A and B are shown apart, each in its own frame.
Chain A
Amino acid sequence: MSDKLKSNVPEGDLAEKWMNYRGTMPLVAPGNKRNIEIIVVGTGLAGASAASTLGELGYKVKCFTFHDSPRRAHSVAAQGGINAAKNYQNDGDSVYRLFYDTIKGGDYRSREANVHRLAEVSRDIIDQCAAQGVPFGREYGGLLANRSFGGVQVSRTFYSRGQTGQQLLIGAYSSLSRQIARGSVTMYNRHEMLDLVKVDGKARGIITRNLLTGKIDRHAAHCVVLATGGYGNVFYLSTNAMNSNVSAGWRAHKKGAFFANPCYTQIHPTCIPVSGEYQSKLTLMSESLRNDGRVWVPKKKEDCKKDPLSIAEEDRDYYLERIYPAFGNLVPRDVASRAAKYVTDDGRGVGATGLAVYLDFASAIERYGKSEANMKGISNPTKAQIVELGEAIVKEKYGNLFHMYEKITDENPYKTPMKIFPAVHYTMGGIWVDYNLQTTIPGCFALGEANFSDHGANRLGASALMQGLADGYFVIPYTIGTFLSKEIRTPIYSAEHTDLEKLKKENTDEEGNIKEFITPNAPEFIEAENAVKERIKTFLNVNGSQSIESFHRRLGRIMWDYCGMSRNAEGLAKARKMIQELRAEYHKDVFVPGSNEEYNPELEKALRVADFMELGELMVCDALNRNESCGGHFREEYQEGGGEALRNDEEYMYAAAWEFTQDNSDWNLHKEQLEYKDIEVKTRSYK
């Protein structure tokens, strides 16, 4: 283990670590909390839950988002659901099973203690959200309903139709709004963090740009919490919201926060296929659809262009059911995506481009229809009656998804199978954090999709919402105390224009020593502010001939072709060079219209794409370093029979944490060795 990486996992039995730790960790007394300021960047599930809870506890919180309202964070788009080990279905679920499924789903590349804690607090999340008024799906008896997601054999996913993320986010947003009204949280909408400020090695604030006026501000605090989401948009085309970006995390990385496992990308198997060059965004069709939809392609290549309804049952290859009988259509995402790639590589893809497979609801409609007819006492129902009854059930379950599909594709998925294809969806990699969710910069914390810790090399469905809310509601409010309990004597003068010399005098003791204090007027803040202004000026002055969008698209293409669903050493090496060249071209020939002092989305994009260009290279380095296949990272050189991932536990059972060096194309690798004491490490099999 690198001595720069201390995971700080508490001693003791896995099942009791968190409880014992929570009971003995240093706390900040209520009176002291009032004097401590915390910056939270991000208002997604992780950020909003953290900011509101820290506000409730009495800390002074400043919360930032680039959106016009906290309610718009990308979390709002999550569809399918949130996991919790409630075992309400009495189907054998438990904290251990959720823990086990998550570790196995992550292909034994996540940190055991973090995952166990996640499984423990999952139950509290559901209670909390229900108390906030989140309208979860319910059974007729009035109790909460569940559905199943991929990679598990129990039913533990709670949901609000196909809008679970929206409902959970509104819950967190309403709690946040309550704290804003109380004055414990000050909200800064339309403010983008452009740099992290470190003073004496500790994170003490951020530099922001007011997106309406272009004003650059310095914000100081005792510590900084980043809940800034994932970086899937490095691929240009992904299911992420258009404005999701890596910049906050990347800036922290360049200030000393290690970036872990950047190459672990989740490609989601069920998205609406790309239809044209102009496309800038892909749309997810929730994994919950695989509860009832059957995935297939024609057995014969010559059938691929035919109307799917005309293809006889025996000429269809339900390949997931065929290859993975134990999990069938509900295999984990990485497995389902790769399988789709193999059948389309084999020339059996469907749709105009040949890059699609079918997701068919006909069997489900028939099954539900028959059982409804039965329940309604209709003997000998006609085929039409069955279909009508069945469609009604399917509509109740997935109505909004079907509606969305029809709007986009102009096809009716009740009548003809959906066409789907894998697309970039989630990033398991992220800022390295210890058990306290602290990064390698003291006082800088990372939560939610922005960190790396819980999902290993592949995330199971419905567990990102769980992790975001676990981190924000139930972990950081405690673990932040490990840092802040040592800060209660550090005064803060947060006004931007205090006289530094005067403050120094005020904080000098009899012996002439200057005590530590925090102010945005410290030279480190001024320096960071100037650097940001300089960076902005540089981009505005390039005045080249190509649009930011066109560069982003080209970067995405390189990433998808060489660092996407499958990778190999030769391609990765090539990609690295291509990215370096593209980056050089970007800085020479990009065109950024307008000025800093106005509402200028192009300028925002220019800064974000510049960071993606640097991240892209690190992802490629990481993928090249990892000479094995695991989870979402599939190296063609390392596979066994039928294209299954071949892990190399001997050499790669570690989290790769990359340290930025001043050279933009060079990183130091630190390894966090992963240990599994409470789980037997096996080859992942869903067969």
Chain B
Amino acid sequence: MAGKTINIKVKVWRQGGKYPKGQFETYDLKDVGTDMSFLEMFDVLNEQLVSKKEMPVAFEHDCREGICGTCSMVIDGQPHGPMKGTTTCQLHMRSFKDGATITVEPFRAKSFPVIRDLVVDRSSFDAIIQAGGYISVNTGQAQDANAIPIEKDTSEKAFDAATCIGCGACVAACPNSAAMLFTSAKVSHLATMPQGKVESQKRVQAMVNQMDKEGFGMCSNIKACEAECPKEISTDNIALMNREYLASVLGSDKEG
């Protein structure tokens, strides 16, 4: 680890408190270690602000390991920044050049209203899951876990979809603010597992309807979601969801 440092400017969206309408503020940061993570850089910035008795920049984070889905920043126009398959908290300053001005904004979407600065409200995602993102099994009703063998490949496929962290970058990346990638990841995780197949058509209808109700946009196949998804969730899941949805509308599950 080299211990290099860079000087940067951070142009940050501030909203709330002193900034009722919302605007950019630019801050200078000197001698930023390149081994620092992007959020550690924000910690340093906030320490500076607090030392001047100013309100620090509000941003959300928790695990800082790329798994909880809490962090959410648009960095130089890209949700979660320039590194592919990487959340904001896993991004490091070595991805930036000395002298750079880095622009940081919240995830923007009608269904993700800004709370303060870089913090948005993503409870619309919970509502989609509540509409049907589960298998209806009560505690204690399960049979032995090995009673249903599942092909390794099938299980891995379900797992890949299930790794979605619910961050919302897909929505922020989409010009239509669609939540198709997020919703389809859950639909496809559960529809792929034999345990989840039984109610899969009811599920897909309920979830898609909820997605519309929450005000997310339509999908027009741009695939920006896949490109920005930190977990590299595939748009194949969207195709699968569309098939499931169509089948459910046509009522093919009611046959025989």
Complex contact A56–B138 (CB within 8 A): yes
Chain A residues engaging chain B, CB cutoff 8 angstroms: 49, 52-53, 56, 67-72, 74, 76-77, 86, 88, 124, 126-133, 135-144, 160-161, 163, 165-167, 170, 173-175, 177-178, 180-181, 187, 189, 212, 241-243, 275-276, 278-281, 283-284, 352, 404, 407-411, 473-474, 477, 547, 549-550, 591, 593-594, 598-599, 601-602
Complex contact A142–B150 (CB within 8 A): yes
Chain B residues with CB under 8 Å of A70's CB are 126
A-contact 0/1 string along B160-171, CB 8 Å cutoff: 001101100000
Q: Known A-B contacts: A88-B146, A143-B149, A275-B1. Give 12 more (CB < 8 A).
A: A56-B138, A72-B69, A76-B68, A131-B143, A138-B150, A142-B151, A177-B129, A278-B40, A410-B35, A411-B1, A591-B50, A593-B56
Complex contact A280–B40 (CB within 8 A): yes
**When chains A and B are docked, how far (Å) is the Cα of A594 from the Cα of B131?**
37
Q: Which residue of A lies closest to B143 (CB)?
A: A127
**When chains A and B are docked, how far (Å) is the Cα of A72 from the Cα of B142?**
26
Of the listed stretches B6-14, B58-66, B103-111, B244-252, chain A binds B58-66
Q: Is B102 an interface residue (CB 8 A)?
A: no
Chain B residues with CB under 8 Å of A601's CB are 56, 58
Q: Which of B70, B138, B155 contacts A67 (CB 8 A)?
A: B70
**When chains A and B are docked, how far (Å) is the Cα of A279 from the Cα of B89?**
13
**Would A473 and B139 be within 8 Å (CB), given that A174-B133, A407-B86 are in contact?**
yes
Complex contact A163–B16 (CB within 8 A): no
Complex contact B62–A408 (CB within 8 A): no
**When chains A and B are docked, how far (Å) is the Cα of A497 from the Cα of B146?**
52
Chain B residues engaging chain A, CB cutoff 8 angstroms: 1, 3, 16-17, 33, 35-37, 40, 43-44, 47, 50-51, 53-56, 58, 60-70, 83, 86, 90, 92, 94, 115-116, 119, 121-123, 125-126, 129-131, 133-146, 148-152, 155-156, 158-159, 162-163, 165-166, 189-190, 193, 195-196
Distance of A232 from chain B, by nearest CB (Å): 13
**Would A135 and B60 be within 8 Å (CB), given that A52-B139, A86-B145 are in contact?**
no
Complex contact B123–A594 (CB within 8 A): no
Chain B residues with CB under 8 Å of A165's CB are 67
Complex contact B193–A280 (CB within 8 A): no
Q: Which of B63, B136, B140 contacts A241 (CB 8 A)?
A: B63
Could you jot down 6 A-B contacts, CB within 8 Å?
A56-B138, A136-B155, A142-B149, A174-B134, A189-B123, A280-B40
Q: Which of B44, B58, B69 contacts A71 (CB 8 A)?
A: B69
Q: How many A-B residue pairs have CB under 8 A?
A: 213
**When chains A and B are docked, how far (Å) is the Cα of A175 from the Cα of B132?**
10
Q: Which of B3, B55, B141 contacts A131 (CB 8 A)?
A: B141
Chain A residues with CB under 8 Å of B196's CB are 133
Complex contact B146–A166 (CB within 8 A): no
Complex contact B155–A599 (CB within 8 A): no
Distance of B179 from chain A, by nearest CB (Å): 14
Q: Which of B40, B138, B140 contacts A279 (CB 8 A)?
A: B40
Q: Which of B44, B92, B145 contacts A407 (CB 8 A)?
A: B92
Complex contact A408–B121 (CB within 8 A): no
Q: Which of A144, A408, A599 contacts B92 (CB 8 A)?
A: A408
Complex contact B63–A74 (CB within 8 A): yes
Chain B residues with CB under 8 Å of A241's CB are 62-64, 68
* The 10 A-B residue pairs with the shortest CB-CB distance in the complex, in nearest-first order: A142-B149, A174-B134, A131-B142, A135-B159, A130-B145, A127-B142, A53-B139, A181-B130, A241-B62, A135-B158
Interface centre among B33, B67, B152 (most CB of A within 10 A): B67
Complex contact B58–A140 (CB within 8 A): no
Chain A residues with CB under 8 Å of B55's CB are 593-594
Q: Which of A127, A181, A189 contacts B144 (CB 8 A)?
A: A127
Distance of B70 from chain A, by nearest CB (Å): 5
Distance of B17 from chain A, by nearest CB (Å): 7
Complex contact B142–A124 (CB within 8 A): yes
Complex contact B130–A410 (CB within 8 A): no
Q: Which residue of B lies closest to A161 (CB)?
A: B159
Q: Which residue of B lies closest to A130 (CB)?
A: B145
**Would A177 and B126 be within 8 Å (CB), given that A163-B67, A547-B47 are in contact?**
yes
Chain A residues with CB under 8 Å of B125's CB are 69
Q: Which residue of B lies closest to A49 (CB)?
A: B139
Q: Which residue of B lies closest to A84 (CB)?
A: B145
**Would A126 and B130 be within 8 Å (CB), given that A68-B70, A593-B55, A598-B17 are in contact?**
no
Interface centre among A126, A242, A477 (most CB of B within 10 A): A242
Chain A residues with CB under 8 Å of B151's CB are 138, 142
Q: Which residue of B lies closest to A54 (CB)?
A: B139
**Would A175 and B134 be within 8 Å (CB), given that A189-B123, A275-B1 are in contact?**
yes
Chain A residues with CB under 8 Å of B94's CB are 410
**Would A68 and B122 be within 8 Å (CB), given that A241-B62, A477-B139 are in contact?**
yes
Interface centre among B122, B126, B143 (most CB of A within 10 A): B126
